[in-house]
Amino acid sequence: MKLTYTIALLVCMSSLFFNSCSSDADTKTDSSATDNGTLKTFIDVTFSLDQSEGYDAGLYFSTELGKSFKTNKIDAATLPKIDIAFYSANYSLNYFMSPNNANYGIKGASLSLFINAQKDLLTIQQFNKIEKSTDFDTIKIDNDDDDSFPDDKTPNVVLFKNAAGKKGAIYIKSVHRVGYDPRIVVDIKIQK
C-alpha cells in the first residue's frame, strides 16, 4: 500500500511540476522580439584587433552560418559564405572590408560593400529599432568606401551589403586593446 501511495504521489508531483513549467513559458513575452522571419540578429560578435589572430577572436564572419572564423580555419566550402572581414592596424585605423579585399582579404572570397564612415544614414538608436528586413529598404549602399574609424569614434554603426544583395548593419559596441585577446565587440543585423 505504501509503495502504491508513493508512486501516486510522485506521478502527481511530476505532473504539477511539468505543467507549471510549461505554463510559465507560455505566458512570457519578449518586449524586444525581432521578426526572425525576415531578419537575422547576432549579438556580441568579436573581431580580432590582432592581425596574427593569436588570441580567441577571428577576422572573418559568415552571416549565413552565424559564425566567426580565423583565416586558417576557412576552407573551400566556407569561403563563399564569408561576407564580413575586419582589419585594424592601430588605434586610428579600423575598418570592415570585403572578404575579397585585394590587400588584406582572401583570394576567391565574395564581394561585400561597406560604408565605415556613414554619417546619419543609420544612428545607433535607429539600429536598435530595426525589427524587420524592410527597415533597411530606404538605406542606399551602392559603393564601397575606403574610410576607417578610430577607436575613439566608437560606438558607431557600419553599413554593408553582401554578394547576395542583403543589406545589414554592424553596431560597434566596444573596443578592447588592453590585456588578453584584443578585440572589438559588435552586434549585427542583416536581411534574411
9 domain residue, yes or no: no
The CA–CA distances, whole Å, from 126 to 13, 94, 114, 134, 136 equal: 48, 23, 18, 13, 10
Q: Give the whole-angstrom CA distance, residue 187 versus residue 177.
A: 18
87 domain residue, yes or no: yes
pLDDT digits (tens, 9 = 90+) for 3-24: 444 444 444 444 433 333 333 3
For residues 111-140, give the mean pLDDT.
92
Confidence of residue 132 (pLDDT cuts 50, 70, 90): very high
12 domain residue, yes or no: no
Task: Count the domains in the chain.
Answer: 1
23 domain residue, yes or no: no
For residues 133-137, give the mean pLDDT.
94
pLDDT digits (tens, 9 = 90+) for 37-92: 899 999 999 999 988 887 888 999 999 999 999 999 999 999 999 999 999 988 88
The pLDDT mean for the chain works out to 82
68 domain residue, yes or no: yes
16 domain residue, yes or no: no
Name the residue with higher pLDDT: 187 or 178.
187
Domain of residue 76 covers: 39-191
Model pTM score: 0.78
Q: Which three cell numbers stand for residue 153?
A: 569614434
Does residue 147 carry a pLDDT above 50? Answer: yes
Does residue 122 carry a pLDDT above 50? Answer: yes
137 domain residue, yes or no: yes
128 domain residue, yes or no: yes
